[in-house]
């Protein structure tokens, strides 16, 4: 009888160690070869200067540094498509880095209320009018708003700096963060 119990304990211990090893290898794969491959894929997208992936507790943050791109919607959708081909839906989020000055960050802080209101209500015309009226007084040399079925893309420029933001459009009126 004791031999059977010992075999059961040995089998359970071996199973537990296998699970731990698998988990460690999966984490290594996410941080190592897969991360390098995905980083290369992201960098092959025109306008992407650098990409980093960091996985913590099963959630991957894809940080993409963009150059001054005119077609933010096109670049962003390529980034999303690249991420969705390799990462499980809902297991990642995308962060954009740009060359925003403090002045552009402050200007966006003043204007973002209009963006989130439009994302919630669908009143894009009011958002556009607010940008027309307020952006010049906030030291924004040029701005561009693009609206798709899923996102509002905000681009601001001044003195060689540029800011890129992507805000999801929620058809249910909830707003939120981009994936």
Sign of CA dihedral 82, 32, 95, 170: positive
Distance of CA 161 to the CA centre of its chain: 21
pLDDT higher than 50, residue 175: no
Residue 29: per-residue pLDDT: 46
pLDDT band for 127, please (50, 70, 90 cuts): very high
CA separation, residue 129 to residues 73, 90, 121, 156 (Å) = 21, 34, 15, 15
Mean pLDDT over 44-56 rounds to: 91
Mean pLDDT computed over 105-116: 96
At 35, give phi and psi (nearest 5°).
-65, -40
CA distance 119 to 86: 28
Rounded Cα–Cα distance for residues 134 and 138 (Å): 7
| Residue ranges covered by each domain of the chain | 32-97, 102-168
Can you point out the beta strands (E) in the chain? 48-56, 59-66, 92-97, 142-147, 151-158, 161-168
Its pTM surpasses 0.95 = no
Joined together, the tokens standing for residue 159 give: 């003195």
Architecture field, domain 32-97: 2-Layer Sandwich (3.30)
Q: What pLDDT is recorded for position 91?
A: 83
CB 108 within 8 A of CB 166: no
- pLDDT tens across 142-171, in order? 999 999 999 999 999 998 899 999 999 987
Confidence class of residue 28 from pLDDT cuts 50, 70 and 90? very low
The string of pLDDT tens digits covering residues 36-47 is 777 788 888 999
How many other CB atoms sit within 10 Å of the CB of residue 50?
13
Residue 27 predicted with pLDDT over 80: no
Q: Report pLDDT for 144.
A: 97
């Amino acid at each position: 009888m004791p031999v059977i119990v010992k075999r059961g304990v040995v089998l359970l211990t071996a199973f537990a160690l296998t699970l731990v090893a698998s988990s460690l290898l999966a984490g290594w794969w996410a941080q190592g070869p897969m991360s390098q491959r995905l980083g290369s894929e992201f960098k092959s997208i025109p306008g992407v200067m650098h990409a980093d992936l960091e996985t913590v507790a099963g959630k991957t943050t894809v940080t993409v540094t963009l150059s001054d791109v005119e077609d933010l919607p096109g670049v962003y959708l390529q980034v999303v498509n690249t991420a969705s081909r390799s990462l499980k839906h809902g297991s990642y989020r995308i962060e954009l880095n740009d060359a925003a000055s403090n002045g552009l960050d402050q200007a966006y802080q003043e204007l973002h209320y209009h963006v989130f209101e439009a994302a919630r209500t669908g009143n894009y015309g009011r958002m556009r009018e607010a940008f027309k009226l307020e952006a010049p007084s906030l030291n924004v040399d040029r701005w561009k708003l693009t609206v798709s079925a899923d996102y509002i893309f905000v681009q601001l420029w001044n003195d060689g700096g540029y800011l890129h933001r992507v805000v999801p459009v929620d058809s249910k009126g909830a707003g939120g963060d981009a994936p």
